[in-house]
Structure 1
Amino acid sequence: MKPFNPNQHQAKKRFGQNFLTDQGIIDRIVKGIQPKQGDNLLEIGPGLGALTRHVLPSVGKMTVIELDHDVIPKLKFNCDGLGELDIVQQDALKADFSQFAQEKPLRVIGNLPYNISTPILFHLFKHLEVSDENQGIQDMHFMLQKEVIDRIVAQPGSKAFGRLTVMTRYYCDAQYLFTVPPSAFSPPPKVDSAIVRLTPKRERLPLEDYAVFSAMVSEAFNMRRKTVRNVWKKRLDDQAFESLGILPTLRPENLNLENFVDAANWVSRNSSR
């Protein structure tokens, strides 16, 4: 395998580029992903191919989505001869992921830029909402800012528990794998990173209206210091809270996913209120 030289490309701040260079960390990520021959694997933001060139030989064929056209020739060079690499020069936020999952569910991986990591997650959740079983996503392994993953796996009652926690938990089971220090990158970021595994749920909690659910979750954490009685005072009265088994004096961070779904379903069924 060709030697990997991250200095052959100047990282661009506007793309949030931090190239992974620590071989030990790369090996741990690949071990966590467990790529196998025939997997329908898609990588978001491969950069120079630090991860790609270790995954591609295992699967034989994979797709990558890369926005920075300047990095693509170097990516091709670094991965030459390792397998069949389909490079799509596109913004991942505008990608239609169903086109990559025609016959087999996707396995999605990536070192996501910190500045757009949450929007990409929500874009993938949107795909989960509209995809059928064959066009779905099998699992996702992402490197994100540690703070973001702390929020994803947070438990009710903690300060990190918020909108990202609830929305991710509705769609996926999340597992924090390990922390990645700044020294593993070139240039090193100013914060710790971490690896998370997201496994879409085969059966999600029944939801009457996703738009109502999403809006109520957003309302709750936009006013997280208020009680849910005050947050949803135009949607739910004390009788409704009682019927749902939710104490109206609780703050949003003290509710669980089921509470949010139940509240949204009640509002959907009583929309005239």
Structure 2
Amino acid sequence: MYQINALNPKDEGHHTRKRFGQNFLHDQRVIAKIVRAVSPRAGDNVVEIGPGLAALTSPLIGECDALTVLELDRDLAAGLPGRVPHPERLTIVETDALKYDFNQLIEDDRPLRVVGNLPYNISTPLLFHLLEFGDKIKDMHFMLQKEVVDRITASPNTKEYGRLSVMIQYFCKPTFLFEVPPGSFNPPPKVTSAVFRLEPYATKPIVAKNEKALARLVGHVFTQRRKTLRNSLKGMLVEDGFENAGVDPMARPETLTLAQFVALADQMVA
């Protein structure tokens, strides 16, 4: 859908590129709020995904002594050093973040602090890709479509609660920070955006015996969310699986807590 990038005022003549679906953030108040939320400090290992035209990159690099940016658009990457203060602090990696090994950015055992205005069309796979490096990441601050952020931060018994809610919350503590209206971008997208924080757990509060089984179960039941768990999970659990898990077989998936999903996944047939 949309890739939201930061617009530096001196680059107002830059033409958006349709193949990247670019919409450039120009609202300085929103940019300042994002930087305050991140609160970068000297010594932080900060990584920005999709710096665009550097309006967010510039204030970030002013607050920390080093900043690594991942940019897929070669033209934008080439212009970045001329758009930021302290270009000597900037490291540019021209790459697709979806395929990038974030282990390469670990130095002196300093955890990563990841920031990004993510391409909306790849946001979900990118989030799960980043979670593969969760033990190396302190926190992540991202902007996405508000409806996606609502799903990530949703609680049980809400219409937004689903696979994305359960699986992200298994790995991270999510926090909804603030909305960003379409008028904050040029050109304005057709959706409202939102900024949120993810903090990967150093020690997960709830641990599944088999995380792949958990992902399979959660994905399966939410494709059939109108069915009771008894009907959607036929043949997938061991005998007395519901009783062992302490879960009502007549419940529907949107009513279950993360702990209940983990308990059910631990009862799956091998």
Shorter-normalised TM-score: what interval?
Answer: over 0.9
Give the partner amino acid of 2:41. K
Partner of 1:109: 115
Partner of 2:128: 122
Q: Which runs of 5+ in 2 are unaligned?
A: 1-7
* SS of the residue 1:64 aligns to: strand
* SS of the residue 1:117 aligns to: helix
Aligned match for 1:96, one of 82, 101, 105 = 101
Q: How does 1:67-82 map to 2 (within 5 A)?
A: 67-81=72-86
CA distance in 2, matches of 1:265, 1:201: 20
Q: Per the alignment, do residues 67 and 95 of structure 1 end up closer, same or farther by CA in structure 2, a change over 3 Å counting? A: same
Spell out, residue by residue over 1:8-37, the C-alpha distance to the aligned partner (whole angstroms, 9 max, x if none): 321123223111100011011111110101
CA deviation after TM superposition for structure 1 residue 77, in Å? 1.2
CA distance in 2, matches of 1:83, 1:225: 55
* SS of the residue 1:38 aligns to: coil
Partner of 1:214: 215
Contact 2:61 2:85 in 1 (8 A): no
Partner of 1:264: 265
Q: Which runs of 5+ in 1 are unaligned?
A: none
TM-score normalised by structure 2 residue count: 0.93
Give the partner amino acid of 2:216. A
Give the partner amino acid of 1:147. E
Q: How does 1:34-183 map to 2 (within 5 A)?
A: 34-81=39-86, 83-102=88-107, 103-128=109-134, 131=135, 136-183=136-183
Using the aligned pairs only, state the percent identity.
Answer: 48
Q: Per the alignment, do residues 119 and 157 of structure 1 end up closer, same or farther by CA in structure 2, a change over 3 Å counting? A: same
CA deviation after TM superposition for structure 1 residue 172, in Å? 0.5
* SS of the residue 1:71 aligns to: helix
Contact 1:56 1:83 in 2 (8 A): no
Spell out, residue by residue over 1:180-203, the C-alpha distance to the aligned partner (whole angstroms, 9 max, x if none): 001111111100000001111121
* SS of the residue 2:188 aligns to: coil
Q: Per the alignment, do residues 237 and 228 of structure 1 end up closer, same or farther by CA in structure 2, a change over 3 Å counting? A: farther
CA deviation after TM superposition for structure 1 residue 238, in Å? 7.1
**How many correspondences in the alignment?**
261
CA distance in 2, matches of 1:95, 1:47: 18
Moved more, 42-51 or 222-231: 222-231
CA deviation after TM superposition for structure 1 residue 112, in Å? 0.4
Contact 1:114 1:144 in 2 (8 A): yes
CA deviation after TM superposition for structure 1 residue 46, in Å? 0.5
CA distance in 2, matches of 1:100, 1:36: 17
Contact 2:151 2:164 in 1 (8 A): yes
TM-score normalised by structure 1 residue count: 0.92
CA deviation after TM superposition for structure 1 residue 82, in Å? 5.1
* SS of the residue 1:151 aligns to: helix
* SS of the residue 1:175 aligns to: strand
Spell out, residue by residue over 1:201-256, the C-alpha distance to the aligned partner (whole angstroms, 9 max, x if none): 12112221111111111101111111111111111267221221111111111111
Spell out, residue by residue over 1:55-109, the C-alpha distance to the aligned partner (whole angstroms, 9 max, x if none): 0011121100000001112222111535511000000000001111232100000
Partner of 1:195: 195
Cα-Cα RMSD = 1.4
